[in-house]
Structure 1
Amino acid sequence: MENNTAYKLIDGKFSSEDADSILTALFNYKIDYHQREDFSKHIRFNQDIEHSKKRVLELTETKETIKQLIADSKSNNLNLVIKGEITIQFEKQ
């Protein structure tokens, strides 16, 4: 089994509006995922959720930075070329 596989998630040229829609949905989903996991782990197992809290903060800050890039592209009448890749690796537990 190959140990390192990559898949295209996003690969194209987008208008400001489309880029905003796609990237906002992606970041919102990841933020929501971490918040639900936090709640579940805390309630069910009383586990430490600091990693997820940190990740939510990082994702929120990145989302705001991207929102500014999109606003800049819109005000300058520019499209955005977005390329995103998912890399999956195996490692022993």
Structure 2
Amino acid sequence: MKKEYQFKLIEGQFAPSEAGKVLFSLINSKINFHNLEAFSSRIRYNEEDSHSKNRLESLLDASEYIKQLIDEASSKGMGLRIDSVIQIVLTSKVKTELDV
């Protein structure tokens, strides 16, 4: 039986400055996570974590695009509507380096 859960993470209308705070908090948290993962892989295994490297590139691109949207909204006196749902699905156990 597949178990799936959804939670509304963000929902509402925001001024550009508020939207920036909310969105960049999330993105910066993910950037920090992947930076730590990449650093850990380099220290532990002397190899690059390609998944974290790819995610970092995607997150940095998203960050730049979001900055442009916020700047545009700000310059035009507009707000931003943000809706974000997080979906969680329980799956079989993923092997980690601790399981090996």
Displacement of 1:44: 1.7
Aligned to 1:77: 77
Alpha-carbon separation, structure 2, partners of 1:90 and 1:47 = 30
Which one-letter code corresponds to 1:92 in the other structure?
S
Which one-letter code corresponds to 1:4 in the other structure?
E
SS at match of 1:9: strand
| TM-score, length basis structure 1 | 0.92
Displacement of 1:46: 3.3
Q: How many residues end up aligned between the 2 structures? A: 93
More helix as a share of residues: 1
Asked which structure has the greater CA Rg, the reply is 2
C-alpha deviations, 1:21-66, integer Å up to 9, x for none? 1111111110010001111122123354011001000000011001
Alpha-carbon separation, structure 1, partners of 2:48 and 2:4 = 30
Let me know the Cα RMSD of the aligned residues.
1.4
Aligned to 2:62: 62
SS at match of 1:62: helix
Identity %: 38
SS at match of 1:83: strand
Aligned to 1:51: 51
Aligned to 2:98: none
Alpha-carbon separation, structure 2, partners of 1:83 and 1:2 = 25
Task: Specify every segment of 5 or more residues in structure 2 that has no aligned partner in the other structure, as ranges.
Answer: 94-100
